[in-house]
Chain A
């Protein structure tokens, strides 16, 4: 059984997230959201300005991902993004991580115990690289 076959896609969000850039961003990530059990991480470190349509887009991505049994996680929130998410009560809907790496790693953290043990066993049984 190949546990790591589903990739985690990390996308960096643009500096200004208004209706136009949100639409463009959604168009970019749509193919990833259409996959089976999509796993996406949005990096918000560059975001300096975000409006209601930007938040709406995030919710839409999350909704699409949930429909396909996947998830969208947020990482490296800039202060501006964090304040707007807090203001609009949307920060409680997302899992938020300090870094994109932590967010990507968190996807494997929810594997059932049996699968995780098998993954560990596989790793141990692999011969060391020369």
Chain B
């Protein structure tokens, strides 16, 4: 039987922008792979080899960087032509001999047993069948390819109504609605704690710690399980990645920063000496899940997004090196020749290097009355890495 799959990704209008990072969540990497990628791979695991993805082109997401398997065709569509494009992809499949088409709008990530779904569709002898989880209807359909009018009515109503009766199959596996940043974070936790069938996209270097090829963890950095470091991501010296944190591909966590129960999105930079906790960081924003607030960070020393194009990234880092060398030479010639003797107490008094030099600032959490009484007492940070 010729079964094919269509994956639809467009902007979710029902969810407020502050909850979604202003991006299509299905295209964002979660523990190494996007939901779109994971769903395409799942379809292929069930023997549905011909899969097409229709992705709405937005300014925030580059369609060329979706990282889909090579045999999955990807069609980009303008927002106003999205549903027409999806319909024409379905028609093309029907014309080229498909008998059944599995249509999935992301959306929710559900670990569907497609074999069971197809069997249900065949047994019921219906034109269109749908999946549901408890009381919630999922946007996962099985359509008989010959029933073009039924498919057309579905596409024209944006999957809201079907022309004919649409029997529902209950889904009893893992599901994540992926509607907000909180869901995205939960999805990462579920993958890292192995509550899903889908796995982290990397090699388990020690129990609970996965790294993708090219991930760079500098000496002195600590990655505590469960955690994930994506391909070509960089964890600088003194940084700590802990409690189900995930640093996605090409992201960088600078020296001394603690990433706790957080996700650093792809192509993002997190500055030195920061505390990123219970958050999603990337695209110049931080979504704090405790406070349920999205904050735009304008200061590139704190959070910045890096260019997706490798050429631009290379030029930016070359410019950084060129600017750094004269500065270093100037400091070598003119700066005071006094070597700074660093001890633990002085180090603990310092605030984040990302803040620059707060002139004359010498107060910190350890500068208490007790510390004057007991000069040998130090206050250590809870991770004990400093």
- A: residues with CB less than 8 A from B are 18, 49, 51-53, 55-56, 59-60, 62-64, 66-67, 79-80, 82-84, 86-90, 92-93
- Secondary structure at the B interface, as helix, strand, loop or mixed, is loop
B360 within 8 A of A: yes
A49-B298, A52-B356, A79-B293 known, 8 other contacts, Cβ within 8 Å = A51-B299, A52-B299, A52-B301, A59-B355, A88-B274, A88-B275, A88-B302, A88-B354
| Shortest Cβ distance from B364 into A: residue | A93
Q: With contacts A56-B358, A66-B363, A88-B355 known, is A83 near B291, CB below 8 A?
A: yes
A60 to B: closest C-beta gap in Å: 6
A72 to B: closest C-beta gap in Å: 10
Selected contact of B295 from candidates A53, A80, A89, CB within 8 Å:
A80
Size band of the B side of the interface? Answer: 20 to 34
Contact A90 B351 (CB under 8 A): yes
- Give the docked Cα–Cα distance between A93 and B275 (Å): 14
- Give the docked Cα–Cα distance between A55 and B357 (Å): 11
Q: Write out, one digit per residue, whether chain B residues 273-295 have a CB within 8 A of any chain A CB (1) or not (0).
A: 11111000000001010010101
Contact partners of A79 in chain B: CB under 8 A: 288, 291, 293, 295
| CB-defined A-B contacts under 8 Å, sample of 17 | A49-B298, A51-B301, A59-B358, A60-B359, A60-B360, A62-B363, A63-B358, A63-B359, A63-B361, A66-B363, A79-B291, A84-B302, A86-B277, A87-B303, A89-B274, A90-B351, A90-B355
Contact B298 A56 (CB under 8 A): no
- Give the docked Cα–Cα distance between A82 and B277 (Å): 13
B297 within 8 A of A: yes
A57 to B: closest C-beta gap in Å: 8
| Shortest Cβ distance from B288 into A: residue | A83
Contact partners of B277 in chain A: CB under 8 A: 86
- Give the docked Cα–Cα distance between A62 and B364 (Å): 11
Selected contact of B363 from candidates A80, A83, A84, A93, CB within 8 Å:
A93
Contact partners of A66 in chain B: CB under 8 A: 363
| Shortest Cβ distance from A59 into B: residue | B358
B365 within 8 A of A: yes
Contact A87 B363 (CB under 8 A): no
Contact B358 A51 (CB under 8 A): no
- Give the docked Cα–Cα distance between A63 and B362 (Å): 7
- Give the docked Cα–Cα distance between A101 and B288 (Å): 27
Instruction: Give 8 nearest A-B pairs by CB, closest first.
Output: A51-B299, A59-B358, A79-B293, A63-B361, A83-B295, A56-B358, A59-B361, A80-B295
Q: Write out, one digit per residue, whether chain B residues 338-365 have a CB within 8 A of any chain A CB (1) or not (0).
A: 0000000000000110111111111111
Contact partners of B365 in chain A: CB under 8 A: 92-93
Q: Write out, one digit per residue, whether chain B residues 351-381 have a CB within 8 A of any chain A CB (1) or not (0).
A: 1101111111111110000000000000000
Q: With contacts A62-B361, A63-B360, A93-B364 known, is A84 near B355, CB below 8 A?
A: no
Q: With contacts A60-B358, A93-B363 known, is A83 near B273, CB below 8 A?
A: no
Q: Write out, one digit per residue, whether chain B residues 140-178 have a CB within 8 A of any chain A CB (1) or not (0).
A: 000000000000000000000000000000000000000
B73 within 8 A of A: no
